[in-house]
A = this chain, B = another copy of it.
Amino acid sequence: MSETNGKKRILSGFQDFLPEKMMARKRIIGKIKSAYELFGFLPQETPVLEYADLLLGKYGDNDKLVYQFRDKGDRHVAMRYDLTVPLSRVVQMYANDISFPYRRYQVGMVWRADKPGKGRYREFMQIDADIVSDSSMLADIETIFLDLQIMKSLSIDATVRMNDRRILDSLADICQIPANTNSSLFRIIDKYDKIGMSGVMDELRKVPFSKEILTIVKQYLSISGTNDEVLESLRKLLGNSSSFQVGYDCLSAINNALKDADTSLASYRIDPTIARGLDYYTGLIFETTFNPDPEYGSICSGGRYDRLIKGFDGNSLPTVGVSIGLDRLFAAMESINLISQIKTTTQVFIVNFGNQYLGEYLRLAADLRGNGISVEISPDASKLKKQLRCADVKGIPNVILMGSDELEQGKVVVRSMIDGSQAVIERKDIASHRFGIAS
């Protein structure tokens, strides 16, 4: 009868986050948020459920991955698939209340009815930042700077790889591929990282594209060198196409701006093999490779999409943005021990020597908490050894011992659970004592 047979199970592709992992995730989210805020982005939130209408038709073949159902009022509703389409709704609904250019970020779960696998979940977290209604090249540059800033904040050795849809358009143009088959070309190029040059050639042949096209695409994908050299090679190959110049200018501007930027561990390069799967991009596109293990795929991606978001009057609002999949980023960082595992934020554990002292323990806890020190009081007066083990298992770095002797003398004993050292401190001075934190 019951799908769970009375067992308490979690749905496949979904995750629980117990405190240790949750705190590690929160630290990463916090650093990303701080970077977003340094760049003037402000937080926004939208519902988990939307009218299905809003979402369907936006994700091409992936529409089938949208969680959807009829609610009790027989409305056709869907769970949010990304944070971009809800942003488009918000901008159109509240265009009069928003100050443009609108720099907003959103941290939120999204749901996709995909086959769960290693690092692929049905519920996963996206952390997006977008600049809405800003067609300036400055916005493109700032987006790349933001990506680099995030990698720096997280101490990640990464490479931001940039291209421009208008460069790809000019490739299609030079290949004389009509606009309606453009996207099949781009989608094949997008697989380059996974299937390599010969794989790309095979797929192009299957479409089928002509031998001449294959030759040009091969030349295009083989372009390499310094950023200046890549730009020059692109000009030589595609400069005759009318759509080339504006893409070239964008990448050149970013390249120039980046030349004297402090990028810490992260590097950047103009990379013609970057295409991005989504149809809606119109200008700059970028991905971020995790250098210690590129197999993780892009850990921070985005680009310019000038036609998806519309204002109140229906006119398009040019937008550029960045999206981070937290679960993938976390897995990548974890793989090289970049995640510090802290078991607790609690600083002090008060040993309980008997309920007759409860009032004293509560006052002690109140004094400490009043000074911003986090405290847990042992619930029962079990053996000291057992209580110390409890503090140890929880990873709480400091224990306070206050029994009848200490109470008589107006003192407390502070024991470090890290090195076992003990200090006797006046009870009245305890709130100003500097307690260590777990690390």
Contacts and interface: CB of A to CB of B under 8 A. Distances in A.
A264 to B, nearest CB: 11
A43 B72 contact: no
Contacts of A363: 260
A195 interface: no
A72 B369 contact: no
B359 A4 contact: no
Contacts of A139: 379
Given A37-B345, A71-B67, A379-B134, A11 B49 contact: yes
Nearest to A20: B42
Given A42-B19, A257-B358, A379-B136, A92 B8 contact: yes
Contacts of A38: 369, 372-375
A165 to B, nearest CB: 20
A31 interface: no
A4 B54 contact: yes
In the complex, which range does the number of interface residues on chain A fall in?
A: 35 or more
A286 interface: no
A216 interface: no
A44 interface: yes
Interface in A303-343: none
Contacts of A69: 69-70
A53 B138 contact: no
Interface of A: 2-4, 6, 8-11, 14-19, 22-23, 26, 37-40, 42-51, 53-54, 67, 69-73, 75-77, 79, 88-90, 92-94, 97-99, 101, 103-104, 109, 111, 113, 123, 134, 136-139, 141-142, 145, 149, 253, 256-257, 260-262, 344-346, 352, 355, 358-359, 361-363, 366, 369-370, 372-377, 379-380, 390, 393-394
